[in-house]
Structure 1
């Protein structure tokens, strides 16, 4: 994270999230798609002649406890296994000096027959960044697969693309593109499964 300046990473207290919120989103989302914990994306069933739409259960590989970070900062994400077609996740980002930068609460749930990622940001004290009805919503992009989904959302006229990859049992990578602002950003975040 050292390549980001401190002001861009610092999220605002109250109001709308700063563009850096999308970085956190990438870290937070920092999860969602492939097969049960303990399986690999490579182990997924091979598609037959017909393909079915993806469902939340296809993203079970993200269930569990994940950790990453750099420069002494900690990013951490925990996802529940799918239950009744939904998943729940939480994210926290703690600075090197022990200060909470942001919390996130996330869901993967079906909407109009496809998985949708929704999240809300909070400061210390659970002060929400978004309005009461303002969860950020990311729809599954065409061409997404269970082991490499892309979620797309909009904020303040910009487009956010989050691609999740599960290269092995204990690793996932969140590739985040923040487009449409003054300075588009492309960032990769590496997570390791916590035993």
Structure 2
């Protein structure tokens, strides 16, 4: 199962999908602040990959909003992510690292998986291959482009409800 989830870190910039956008090497991220994504703060749960996904996002503080993610399937943790949306100059970048159930990192010590900001539009925030969508104060969607070993990719939707 770990092999499947390792694929989550391979984002395909050439993929055409309905809810995500790609960041070209010549692109420039738009101006944005953490206030543009502060609606993400909270405790969120939803189904994913045959299990339960949980994300907890902090409010903006110190030029970032941190988050943790956990996927539980068949009663066991499959993997974790820790990351943040960071204010960098006049724009945002989403960065994360993956960990297995024993907190052993998947990426090298100094490496992160980075998603530069592509566009802000209405209730959506588009990072490279990763979109956050506010449905209302109690529901959000995340769309992520996931690459496969054969070179193909697909867009996966995560629907979360706020935990009170």
State the TM-score, normalized to the length of structure 1: 0.67
Superposition misfits of 4+ residues, deviation over 6 angstroms = none
2:133 pairs with 1:145: no
8 Å CA contact 1:178–1:186 kept in 2: the answer is: yes
Larger radius of gyration: 1
Distance 1:136 1:115, change over 3 A: same
Cα distance, 1:72 vs structure 2: 5.9
Which ranges in structure 2 are unaligned for 5 or more consecutive residues? 12-29
Residue in structure 2 matched with residue 193 of structure 1 by the alignment: 162
Distance 1:22 1:66, change over 3 A: farther
Which ranges in structure 1 are unaligned for 5 or more consecutive residues? 1-9, 24-51, 153-160
**In the comparison of the two structures, how many residue pairs are matched?**
144
Cα distance, 1:22 vs structure 2: 5.9
State the TM-score, normalized to the length of structure 2: 0.78
Return the alpha-carbon distance in structure 2 between the equivalents of residues 54 and 71 of structure 1. Answer: 32
The DSSP-based 3-state class of the residue aligned with 1:19 is helix
Select the structure with the greater relative contact order (CA < 8 A; seq sep ≥ 6): 2
8 Å CA contact 1:164–1:175 kept in 2: the answer is: yes
8 Å CA contact 1:58–1:146 kept in 2: the answer is: no
Residue in structure 2 matched with residue 166 of structure 1 by the alignment: 134
2:36 pairs with 1:58: yes
8 Å CA contact 1:11–1:20 kept in 2: the answer is: no
Residue in structure 1 matched with residue 24 of structure 2 by the alignment: none
Matches within 5 A, 1:27-176: 53-69=31-47, 73-95=51-73, 97-141=74-118, 143-145=119-121, 147-152=123-128, 161-176=129-144
Cα distance, 1:146 vs structure 2: 6.4
Distance 1:80 1:146, change over 3 A: farther
